[in-house]
Amino acid sequence: MKIFSFTWFAYNKLRVKAYTFVVRNLFAAWGADSVLEPSAKLMAPNLIRIGSKVTICEHAWLNAKDDRGDGKPTLSIGDGTYIGRFVHINAWQQVAIEENVLLADRVFISDADHNYENIEVPIRLQGDLFKGPVRLKEGCWLGIGVVVLPGVTIGKNAVVAANSVVTKDVPDYVVAAGIPAKIIKQLK
């Protein structure tokens, strides 16, 4: 059993390294020692900048779009950031994730929303609407299932509790929780 476990671990590590080696040149920038699981879904990786020592886990979805029309990256992920399984990030104009950010599994982040102003047209056909940039400052931690809505900044070393919905800015060094997320504790 130990031999099987070791063999599987070695195979998986080699598979991830090989995939990362192949796809890294598709990105606007790719930092040293970053890894990307093969099951991750990428939309417009040429608009995504990845720092060094970034981990992007299974089934993460990085979805970039050039709504500005300038061809510059719309999604920036800082050094040492960890992106958990099934994380979904939409970056239509600007999502900036700073260094050493921790995104637990199933986090959703978006700087845009669906347009739904015209009641005569199905929402699906009305297109997307940029609502505001999203910024996750250095060292923040978003728990499992957190949703970050457009136009939000989450502060340095802030913690957002599991399954919270962040609708407004979260300051540095606090714990926020709930729907909508509210500050429940000041960190010292």
Assign residue 16 the CATH number of its domain: 2.160.10.10
- Check residue 4 and give its pLDDT: 64
- 171's CB contacts (< 8 A; 6+ apart) are 155, 158, 183
Q: How far apart are CA 3 and CA 109, in angstroms?
A: 40
CB 160, CB 171: distance < 8 Å = no
Sign of CA dihedral 128, 59, 35, 164: positive
CB 125, CB 144: distance < 8 Å = no
Give the N- to C-terminal CA distance of the chain in Å, as an integer. Answer: 46
Name the residue range of residue 96's domain. 2-186
CB 97, CB 81: distance < 8 Å = yes
Amino acid in the structure at residue 85: R
Q: How far apart are CA 19 and CA 7, in angstroms?
A: 18
Could you please report the per-residue DSSP string of 127-157? -EEE---EEE-TT-EE-TT-EE-TT-EE-TT
List per-block mean pLDDT (blocks of 10 residues) for the chain, which spans 188 residues.
70 82 92 94 95 97 86 92 98 96 98 89 85 96 98 98 98 98 96
- Check residue 17 and give its pLDDT: 85
Domain count, the chain: 1
- Check residue 72 and give its pLDDT: 80
- Check residue 129 and give its pLDDT: 76
Q: How far apart are CA 37 and CA 17, in angstroms?
A: 9
Q: How far apart are CA 55 and CA 78, in angstroms?
A: 11
Catalytic positions, written as ranges? 114
